[in-house]
Amino acid sequence: MSETVDQDSTRLAAAALDCPAERAVLKEAADQETVYQKKGDQELDHQQTVQRKIIHVDMDAFFASVEQRDFPEYRGQPLIVGGNPQHRGVVAACSYEARKFGIHSAMSSAKAYQLCPNAIFVKPRFEAYREASIAIQGIFKEYTALVEPLSLDEAFLDVTGSELCSGSATLIARDIKQKIYQETGLTASAGISYNKFLAKIASDMDKPDGLFVVLPSAANDLLESLAIRKFHGIGKATEAKMQALGINCGRDLKQWSKSRLQKHFGRMGVYYYGIVRGEDERPVHNNRLRKSIGAETTFSDDLIDTHEMLERLHKLAEKVVSIMQAKKMAAKTITLKVKFDNFEQVTRSHSELLGFQNLDTILGRLPQLLEKTDAGERRVRLLGVSVSNLFALNNEAVSPEQIRLI
């Protein structure tokens, strides 16, 4: 039995926005491409102790390091993974050698080329990054059940009460780094502290190949001297707003009362008030549920030819299927998203009770779904494919609520 339904078009957009950490945002051959996986949060019934031990692990120059590992000729070189500098590409990742020239992620590749004309530019190989990601997430789970992946290359671990390494979170982190290196040939940096916010800051303090501990007695001095842009959760816009208000570092932020911060920054003001005092009670969530897997592309030039659209959809479907297969999952619903040149967006879905799991079945449905839109008559700016109502492939089908991520 099958049914075709229209879906609320805003849901998929929300899926892409909900999980920025899982997105790999790139401009590939002048097109902007987004691969996303939607997850829901569910908290483990976790006993909070007075003092927790949280480790944040983040891989160093992740995509670029995988390339340098796999291609020895790139080692020691300024290497940029991302889009073409001749087109409208952006830098996804760059090696530490490239960073000396001021190059960073999300910068246009053209600008990166200006800064370092001798840099090597390579296209991303998502499969290789995903494989490394699965390996590191597997290692994390050997140390604690409380692992919260934040993106392909990082995770929080709660090791409170662990008996490994004589209960030392620092030694556990060192062990994890060693194991990652042995198993993947890649380096990671780890931060250790008593909450997520400080552990995340700590992992960035000693990059690359870093290990940095923020003890409760050291947190205050560190936070007071920390530049506002280094506070995780304070983006560029908030940074500019804070600077305009004379807030440049933690010490300045601390002068502000909770109500005054709330007045200027709303609910986030209360969060800022807490974090600058080293207060962050957010638990490590370990059983995020995958709700959908999707990939979408914004074209540099709008498409008008439906054959070309189907070719593009084929590539997107391949990406989605490779993720599904890596996770040994199948899906009951496939959704096509079309955004027209006036930014109007529609989605068309098709569901099958027995589910889809291979590329051919998904590809077989795409032309019909595309026909149910105005594509062909109107110019198309973005196409996306996603699958939802996921279930594990081994044994009998289970509801998505029962599926644990990674």
Q: Is 105 or 373 the residue whose CB approaches ligand TTP more closely? A: 105
Q: What 8-state DSSP symbol labels residue 194?
A: S
Q: Which is nearer to Mg ion, 59 or 385 (CB)?
A: 59
Counting contacts by CB under 6 A, is residue 256 touching ligand TTP? no
Amino acid sitting at position 164: L
CA distance 298 to 285: 32
33 binds, among Mg ion, ligand TTP, none (CB under 5 to 8 A by kind): none
Q: What is the number of the residue whose Cβ is closest to Mg ion?
A: 154
User: Rounded CA gap, 26 and 90, in Å?
Assistant: 6
Question: To the nearest whole angstrom, how small is the minimum distance from the Cβ of residue 162 to Mg ion?
Answer: 23
92 binds, among ligand TTP, Mg ion, none (CB under 5 to 8 A by kind): ligand TTP
Name the nearest CA neighbour of 151 among 240, 43, 21, 41: 21
- Per CB under 6 A, the list member of 28, 60, 224, 239 interacting with ligand TTP is 60
Query: Which of 177/348 has CB closer to ligand TTP?
Result: 177
Residue at token pair 């700016």 = 381
Cα radius of gyration rounded to whole Å, the chain: 23
CA angle 52, 57, 63 (to 5 degrees): 160
389: left (phi over 0), alpha (psi -120 to 50) or beta: left
Looking at residue 378, the DSSP 8-state letter turns out to be: B
Q: Residue 302, interface with ligand TTP (CB under 6 A)?
A: no
CB nearer to Mg ion: pick between 31 and 154: 154
Determine the Cα–Cα distance for residues 319 and 257; give it in Å rounded to an integer.
48
Give the range of 24-32, 313-321, 349-357, 375-383 binding ligand TTP by CB under 6 A: 24-32
Is 249 near ligand TTP (CB under 6 A)? no
Q: Is 97 in the site for Mg ion (CB under 5 A)?
A: no
Residue 22's binding partner out of Mg ion, ligand TTP, none, with CB under 5 to 8 Å set by partner kind: none
Binding positions for Mg ion, 38-67, rule CB under 5 A:
58-59, 62
Which residues lie across from 370 on neighbouring strands?
none
C-alpha span between 284 and 135 (Å, rounded):
20
Q: Is 153 in the site for ligand TTP (CB under 6 A)?
A: yes
Q: Which is nearer to ligand TTP, 93 or 223 (CB)?
A: 93
Looking at 154, 163, 224, 281, which residue is catalytic? 154
Q: Three-state SS string across 197-211, please?
A: HHHHHHHHHCCCCCE
177 binds ligand TTP (CB under 6 A): no
361, 367, 370, 372 alpha-carbon torsion, rounded to 10°: -100
The verdict on 61 binding ligand TTP (CB under 6 A) reads: yes
Cα–Cα distance for residue pair 176/139, rounded to 1 Å: 7
What is the per-residue DSSP string for 6-24? E--HHHHHHHHHH-GGG-E
Interface with ligand TTP includes 58 (CB under 6 A)?
yes
Candidate list 16, 24, 214, 369; residue touching ligand TTP; CB under 6 A? 24
Active site residue 239: no
- Residues in contact with Mg ion by the rule CB under 5 A: 58-59, 62, 153-154
Active site residues: 154
- Residues in contact with ligand TTP by the rule CB under 6 A: 24-26, 58-63, 92-93, 105-106, 153-154, 207-208
